[in-house]
Every structure is written in structure tokens, then in C-alpha cells.
């Protein structure tokens, strides 16, 4: 456990995975098919986590591929504007295209459309992984979509092994997105393999249930991972809060209830807030609560990376909010 916490305490992360371009109808509440105006922002799970960490004071390098076109250059420019190190963001040509997401800033009848055909980020290769000097970082972070297709899948596992050899803890957000995978069976096998290599695993009840072969088996799966390979496992249950398994303890935490504008971006913001708080030496229970607060902030604003909080935003939210929901253990 101390090795994991010491790595995070360096507050210097290498993040694997995609950066995408998000479009959302404006004003909030507008249906996509009825929209006249769209706003754009940086998206993609890993890019969101990277931007969120930087906004909260961390140092982050993103390792991925973007398309060699205006959309790829948009993503690269946005990453740079947030302060993310893009030395390992590679541009790829040919028919490969950056992922695009079109989602609405509304909760009821929310519509989200993701374009991932010929995705450029899946062109992340083992050679790309090998060109990173992992000893320059404190921890490696990734989200499950990096494993959804080759050559990115093999490259990500190679990065895991290289990072472990350099002494870095592996932090894994399960982030199961069915549309990215060839089949549920492949996803279950690959995500379980990634989980077994990770020091910290974050997922929701459905994702752990998926890895275990049934939603009713998810909690037991999370608990078993914490007793075998992982040092910290965070089992998120939506409105019911989260259970954090660590050091043979089960920490139950609530959420910060808010009126959400949209459901997207919460998980990425949670991860950024959690890791930033751990890097500052906070106890796990407090770090999880602060991650939950970051998630609550993001669902209350349009966009994903643009909605990630700065430290002042987080402290203001915590000061003004009546507090997290009570949980029954």
C-alpha cells in the first residue's frame, strides 16, 4: 500500500488512452435533432482524467494517438491549453479518425452518440508504449477503452509491464463501453486481465458485475480483487454512494446530491478528484468523498473536460453544499 500511495504522492501521472472531440447542443436542455447551435470541447475518458488532474494541480502526460487532421489538431491544442504534456501524443494518417461524441446537456431522455469507426486512438502501438520513460512519473492511469481493440490492447498491456518494472502503481478505471468492443466475452476476459494487474481499480456496480459474469456478483468480485491483487478497489453504486476496499477495511461513503444537467463526465471527474486528493495526503475516505464532489460539479455543467473543477471550484462547492448523503453499512 505504501508504494502505491508514495507513487500517487508525486502528483506526476502518465495517462494512457483517448482524446476526443465533444459536441453538445446549446442551450442546455436542447435535443440534438432540434439544435441550431453546438458547443465543442475536449472529451474522451483518459483526456478528461488528464485535464481534471492538471486543473487540480497535477502534472500529467497523455499517451495516445490522434488523427492527422483538423479534429486531431483540435484535441491536441485543447490538451495543450489545459497544460497536459503531449510529447507522447502521436498523429496518425490514412483512414483513421479521431473519436467524436455528440451528447445532450439534459438528464431526461438523454441522448449520446459516439463515433468510434476506424478510431485513431486504437493505433497506439507497443513501440509507442516503449518510447515512454516511465521512471519520470509517479503512477500510471488508464481507462478500459484503451483495451477494446488492437494494436492498442497489446500496447496498453506492454505499458503496464514497463510501468510496473519502473516501480509505478497501476490505476485502472474499468470504464466499460460496449460499443467499443468486438463482443462482451472478449471485454470480460480482457478487462479482468487488466484488473488483475492493477493496484487501484475503480468501477461501478454494473462494471464489476460484468467482470464477474453477473450483476449480482459484482460486489463479491470487487471484494475478492482487494484481497488478492489490488491494494484499493472502489465500488461505485450511483446514488447509493461507494464502497472502498483497502487494508481489509470496507469504507462506505455517500454522494453529494445535486440537480444534474447531464449524466456524462462524472466517472472521469471522480477519478481526477480522488487521485488529486490522495496525492495531497488525504485519507482514503476523504479522497473518495472529494472525488464524489468533483463528479457532482461536472454533472451540473455542460461539457466534460471544460466542466472539471479547479481547486477553488471544489472548495467553494464543499463549503456551500450541506454535505454527502448518509449511507447504511
Map residue 153 onto helix, strand or coil.
helix
In a domain, 218, yes or no: yes
Q: What pLDDT is stored for residue 213 in this prediction?
A: 82
Map residue 250 onto helix, strand or coil.
strand
In a domain, 13, yes or no: yes
Say if CB 149 and CB 122 are below 8 A apart.
yes
Residue-range definition of the domain harbouring residue 102 = 2-320
Residue positions counted in the chain: 329
Say if CB 273 and CB 56 are below 8 A apart.
yes
Q: What is the pLDDT of residues 148-192, one digit of tens each?
A: 999 999 999 999 999 999 999 999 999 998 888 888 899 999 999
Q: What is the pLDDT of residues 60-80, one digit of tens each?
A: 999 999 999 999 999 999 999
Residue 179, H or E segment: none
Q: Write the DSSP symbol of residue 90.
A: E
**What phi, psi does 63 have (nearest 5°)?**
-115, 110
Following DSSP, what letter does each residue of 183-203 receive, concatenated? -HHHHHHHHHHHHHT-SEEEE
In a domain, 276, yes or no: yes
In a domain, 326, yes or no: no
Give the integer Cα–Cα distance in Å for 6 and 210: 31
In a domain, 327, yes or no: no
- Regarding pTM above 0.75, the answer is yes
Residue 205, H or E segment: helix 205-212
In a domain, 68, yes or no: yes
In a domain, 48, yes or no: yes
Residue 1, H or E segment: none
Q: For residue 329, is pLDDT > 70?
A: no
For the record, the C-alpha cell of 225 comes out as 480483487
Name the domain count of the chain: 1
- The enclosing domain of 273 has a CATH number of 3.40.1190.20
Cis status of the peptide bond prior to 27, with omega within 30 of 0:
yes
Q: What is the pLDDT of residues 249-288, one digit of tens each?
A: 999 999 999 999 999 999 999 999 999 999 999 999 999 9
Amino acid at each position: 500500500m505504501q508504494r502505491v500511495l508514495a507513487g500517487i504522492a508525486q502528483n506526476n501521472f502518465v495517462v494512457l488512452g483517448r482524446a476526443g472531440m465533444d459536441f453538445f447542443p446549446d442551450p442546455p436542455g436542447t435535443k440534438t435533432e432540434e439544435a441550431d447551435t453546438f458547443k465543442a470541447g475536449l472529451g474522451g475518458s483518459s483526456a478528461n482524467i488528464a485535464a481534471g488532474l492538471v486543473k487540480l494541480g497535477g502534472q500529467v502526460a497523455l499517451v495516445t494517438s490522434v488523427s492527422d487532421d483538423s479534429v486531431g489538431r483540435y484535441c491536441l491544442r485543447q490538451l495543450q491549453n489545459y497544460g497536459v504534456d503531449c510529447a507522447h501524443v502521436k498523429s496518425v494518417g490514412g483512414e483513421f479518425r479521431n473519436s467524436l461524441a455528440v451528447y445532450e446537456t439534459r438528464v431526461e431522455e438523454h441522448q449520446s452518440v459516439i463515433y468510434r469507426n476506424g478510431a485513431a486512438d486504437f493505433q497506439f502501438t507497443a513501440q509507442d508504449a516503449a518510447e515512454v520513460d516511465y521512471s519520470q512519473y509517479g503512477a500510471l492511469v488508464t481507462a478500459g477503452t484503451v483495451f477494446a481493440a488492437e494494436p492498442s490492447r497489446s500496447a496498453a498491456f506492454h505499458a503496464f509491464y514497463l510501468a510496473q518494472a519502473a516501480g509505478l502503481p497501476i490505476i485502472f478505471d474499468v470504464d466499460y463501453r460496449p460499443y467499443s468492443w468486438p463482443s462482451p466475452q472478449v471485454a470480460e476476459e480482457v478487462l479482468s486481465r487488466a484488473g488483475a494487474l492493477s493496484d487501484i481499480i475503480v468501477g461501478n456496480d454494473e462494471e464489476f458485475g460484468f467482470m464477474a459474469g453477473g450483476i449480482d456478483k459484482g460486489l463479491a468480485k470487487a471484494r475478492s480483487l482487494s484481497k488478492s491483487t489490488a491494494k484499493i478497489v472502489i465500488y461505485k453504486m450511483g446514488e447509493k454512494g461507494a464502497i472502498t476496499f483497502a487494508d481489509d477495511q470496507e469504507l462506505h461513503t455517500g454522494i453529494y446530491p445535486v440537480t444534474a444537467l447531464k449524466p456524462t463526465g462524472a466517472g472521469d471527474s471522480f477519478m481526477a478528484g480522488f487521485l488529486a486528493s490522495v496525492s495531497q495526503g488525504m485519507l482514503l475516505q476523504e479522497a473518495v468523498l472529494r472525488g464524489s464532489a468533483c463528479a457532482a460539479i461536472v454533472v451540473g455543467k455542460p461539457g466534460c473536460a471544460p466542466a472539471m473543477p479547479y481547486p477553488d471550484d471544489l472548495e467553494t462547492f464543499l463549503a456551500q453544499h450541506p454535505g454527502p448523503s448518509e449511507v447504511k453499512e
